[in-house]
């Protein structure tokens, strides 16, 4: 797969996408993508930390029952 300057590769575990909020709604892939897409100038480290925080905030401080891992690479 050819990559261009500015492309971002994101690999994450289901612990992020399956973070459950009010009414058993899940953060989901769209929640993760919306977060990443809204911060094109952020570093990979900022995105990883922010994605974790966004998923935890979505869950409203509820018990974390699954691992939450992301690997983010930005093409420079």
pLDDT in tens, 32-58: 999 999 999 999 999 999 999 999 999
pLDDT at residue 61 greater than cutoff 80: no
Domain assignment present for 48: yes
Domain assignment present for 3: no
Residue range(s) defining the domain that contains residue 21: 8-74
Number of domains in the chain: 1
Domain assignment present for 60: yes
pLDDT band at 19 (very low <50, low <70, confident <90, very high): very high
Domain assignment present for 22: yes
Contact 36, 51 (CB under 8 A): yes
Domain assignment present for 2: no
């Amino acid at each position: 797969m050819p990559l261009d300057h500015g492309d971002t590769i994101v690999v994450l575990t289901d612990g992020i996408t399956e973070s459950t909020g009010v009414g058993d709604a899940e953060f989901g892939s769209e929640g993760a993508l919306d977060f990443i897409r809204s911060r094109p100038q952020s570093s990979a480290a900022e995105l990883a930390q922010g994605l974790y925080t966004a998923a935890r905030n979505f869950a409203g401080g509820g018990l974390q029952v699954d691992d939450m891992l992301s690997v983010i690479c930005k093409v420079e």
